[in-house]
């Protein structure tokens, strides 16, 4: 465990000591180059900000800015992820409309079409990690958005496994950056208290895509055209992405300092809000030392395994969900309509779990409670008989299983809230999405057509990984508690006194009260020195293990 970080922190701080400036006062270009070196983009902008940099933002200022961010940015993030899920899930929707017959699929070829998306995401994940550091996040997202939409449109032209597989892989390559990008965006715009709800909102687009996709598929399935139903489904879903990608490029700001709908004072407030996270916004310097630290940090691996476990469940249920429903004795169109209910359950469970995390400020108990639902449901599905006479019971258990949909975004929020340093954050997302892609590759392979309608192998796999995940959630909490104790000891050793409060987990209405409590007993000089040090460290692109002021969220 990398507990000896102090020297690295001193080295990082030394890199920010600037030589005397010789620059053009009118342009300020040389000063900007000095500040930019290895720094967060927020620090670069603050160097040119002419307002009062020492003032503390009020509850009213914070509420106004967060409302504007929610109003302008959250719908864009939601639409992007909704479209990705719609395009990726189009294969599942098409499966009940003769895809296997019309595309001449045999054996496990349908399962491989599902898994190929995740193979592509696995292969292209390193590129995603690098691109999210080196390029503006909005530009990279827009390119990928257009790419996967075009890929699905082209995929509609094929009636054989080879053609479908090729463009399914290309679609997955373009989609590989989107979920990691969403996490980066949320971390640079919202406080740690606000992040679980926002992450679960954009992730609930998964359920929305299931509902709207089912309705869309129901309508397209009745259409009388010269092409196969699955081709029409692919073409329409792909065109939706192509059309929406164009305005996204112009409307999506890549950084809080680039938002045209925020004034300079509001941009300052937006940055001060994120400063409290101690995770920074974005740096364009790729730091291999942070990559190394990420790989040596146990919580990175624990989270990756947890994501693998829940993704194995998700991958199998998402791909074979309609076929499992058919095994309960439903007709083709009943299957499509009933498939909307899991989408609604996903939306409700995402929002309710995020609200519970926001107000309790604890992710551990909420994760344990929500994990119990799919575990119990998977065990029941394994043992229950099939047939029309058992349809009501089977449907009830299957719908309880769908609570699993809220677990993945909570893992995302938990890990991102506890990781600092831009390169380390993007590397962490890479590791999480390796777990996600491998889980989604393995999951569908456990569901064998020959085992229909019981799918014993798939349900056994679900039971095993859900038990492993339950234990690892507890282990993660124990490790984070040990890190908090370690950072408290490091603060005392460095001469810092008084209680240390994580304002990023608190409502802004309490910020003033908690600041006063934190400063009690300090002289004016000590208070100003402590404030200045914490302000500097927040945008120095330090990792969570380097910064003794970092408080891990449990």
Tens of pLDDT, residue by residue over 257-272, are: 999 999 999 999 999 8
pLDDT for the residue numbered 3: 38
> If you average pLDDT over each of 137-146, 439-448, 526-535, which comes out highest?
137-146
d(CA 217, CA 90): 9
Q: What is the mean pLDDT of residues 432-439?
A: 89
Residue 200 falls within a domain, yes or no? yes
pLDDT surpassing 70 at residue 486:
yes
pLDDT surpassing 60 at residue 32:
no
pLDDT surpassing 70 at residue 298:
yes
Residue 19 falls within a domain, yes or no? no
d(CA 430, CA 141): 16
Residue 533 falls within a domain, yes or no? no
Residue 273 falls within a domain, yes or no? yes
pLDDT surpassing 50 at residue 155:
yes
Residue 281 falls within a domain, yes or no? yes
Burial class (CB in 10 A: 0-12, 13-18, 19+), 83: buried
Q: Any idea which of 109-118, 250-259, 413-422 has the lowest mean pLDDT?
A: 109-118
176 CB-near residues (< 8 Å, 6+ apart) = 120, 121, 123, 124, 125, 127, 128, 144, 433, 437
Q: Give just the sign of the alpha carbon dihedral 172, 177, 181, 184.
A: positive
Q: What is the mean pLDDT of residues 127-133?
A: 84
pTM equals 0.78
d(CA 42, CA 56): 17
pLDDT for the residue numbered 25: 34
pLDDT surpassing 80 at residue 517:
no
pLDDT digits (tens, 9 = 90+) for 7-31: 444 444 434 333 334 334 334 343 4
d(CA 409, CA 406): 6
Categorize the per-residue pLDDT at 48 as very low, low, confident or very high, splitting at 50, 70 and 90: confident
Overall domain count for the chain: 1
pLDDT surpassing 90 at residue 433:
no
CATH no. for residue 343? 1.20.1250.20
Residue 464 falls within a domain, yes or no? yes
Using only the alpha carbons of the chain, give its radius of gyration.
Answer: 25
Residue 11 falls within a domain, yes or no? no
pLDDT digits (tens, 9 = 90+) for 209-243: 888 888 888 788 778 888 998 899 999 999 999 99
pLDDT digits (tens, 9 = 90+) for 325-371: 877 877 777 777 787 888 889 899 999 999 999 889 899 999 999 99
Residue 22 falls within a domain, yes or no? no
pLDDT surpassing 70 at residue 516:
yes
pLDDT digits (tens, 9 = 90+) for 399-409: 999 999 999 99
Please spell the DSSP secondary structure of 487-553, one letter per residue. Answer: HHHHHHHTT--S----GGGS-GGGHHHHHHHHHTT--HHHHHHHHHHHHHHHTTT--TTT-TT----
Q: Which two tokens stand for residue 334?
A: 């009943």
pLDDT for the residue numbered 145: 95
Range of the domain at 125: 61-483
What average pLDDT is seen over the chain?
A: 84
pLDDT for the residue numbered 535: 58
Residue that has been written with the tokens 């950084």 in this structure: 255
525 CB-near residues (< 8 Å, 6+ apart) = none
Percent of the chain residues topping a pLDDT of 70: 88
Categorize the per-residue pLDDT at 312 as very low, low, confident or very high, splitting at 50, 70 and 90: very high
């Amino acid at each position: 465990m990398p507990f000896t970080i102090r020297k690295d922190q001193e080295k990082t701080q030394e890199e920010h000591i600037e030589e005397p400036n010789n620059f053009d006062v009118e342009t300020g270009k040389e000063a900007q180059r000095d500040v930019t070196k290895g720094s967060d983009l927020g620090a670069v902008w603050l160097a040119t900000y002419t307002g009062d940099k020492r003032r503390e933002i009020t509850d009213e200022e914070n509420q106004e800015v967060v409302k504007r961010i929610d109003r302008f940015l959250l719908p864009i993030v939601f639409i992007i992820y909704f479209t990705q899920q719609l395009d990726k899930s189009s294969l599942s929707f098409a499966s009940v409309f003769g895809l296997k017959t019309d595309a001449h699929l045999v054996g496990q070829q349908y399962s491989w079409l599902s898994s190929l998306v995740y193979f592509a995401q696995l292969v292209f994940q390193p590129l995603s990690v690098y691109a999210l550091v080196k390029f503006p996040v909005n530009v990279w997202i827009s390119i990928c958005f257009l790419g996967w939409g075009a890929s699905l449109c082209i995929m509609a032209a094929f009636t054989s496994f080879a053609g479908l597989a090729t463009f399914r892989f290309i679609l997955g390559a373009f989609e590989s950056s989107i979920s990691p990008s969403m996490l980066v965006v949320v971390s640079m715009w919202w406080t740690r208290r606000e992040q679980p709800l926002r992450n679960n909102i954009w992730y609930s687009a998964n359920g929305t895509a299931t509902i709207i996709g089912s309705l869309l598929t129901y309508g397209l399935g009745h259409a009388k055209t010269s092409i196969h139903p699955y081709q029409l489904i692919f073409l329409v879903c792909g065109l939706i992405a192509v059309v929406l990608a164009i305005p996204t490029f112009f409307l999506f700001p890549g950084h809080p300092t680039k938002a045209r709908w925020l004034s300079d004072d509001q941009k300052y407030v937006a940055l001060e809000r994120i400063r409290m996270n101690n995770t920074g916004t974005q740096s364009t310097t790729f730091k291999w030392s942070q990559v190394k630290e990420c790989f040596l940090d146990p919580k990175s691996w624990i989270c990756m395994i947890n994501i693998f476990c829940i993704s194995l469940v998700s991958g199998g249920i998402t791909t074979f969900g309609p076929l499992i429903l058919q095994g309960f004795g439903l007709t083709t169109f009943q299957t499509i309509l009933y498939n909307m209910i899991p989408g609604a359950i996903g939306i409700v469970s995402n929002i309710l779990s995020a609200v519970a995390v926001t107000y309790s400020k604890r992710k551990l108990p909420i994760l344990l409670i929500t994990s119990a639902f799919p575990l119990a449901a998977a065990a029941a599905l394994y043992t229950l008989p099939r047939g029309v006479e058992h349809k009501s019971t089977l449907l009830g258990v299957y719908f309880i299983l769908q609570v699993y949909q809220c677990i993945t975004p909570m893992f995302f929020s938990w890990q991102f809230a506890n990781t600092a340093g831009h390169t380390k954050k993007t590397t962490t997302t890479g590791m999480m999405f390796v777990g996600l892609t491998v889980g989604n590759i393995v999951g569908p392979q456990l569901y064998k057509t020959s085992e229909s309608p019981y799918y014993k192998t798939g349900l056994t796999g679900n039971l095993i990984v859900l038990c492993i995940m339950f234990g690892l959630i507890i282990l993660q909490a124990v490790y984070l508690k040990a890190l908090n104790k370690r950072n408290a000891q490091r603060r005392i050793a460095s001469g810092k006194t008084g209680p240390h409060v994580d304002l990023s987990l608190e409502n802004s209405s309490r910020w003033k009260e908690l600041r006063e409590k934190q400063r009690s007993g300090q002289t004016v000089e000590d208070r100003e020195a402590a404030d200045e040090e914490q302000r500097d460290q927040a945008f120095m692109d330090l990792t969570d293990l380097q910064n003794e002021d970092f408080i891990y969220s449990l």
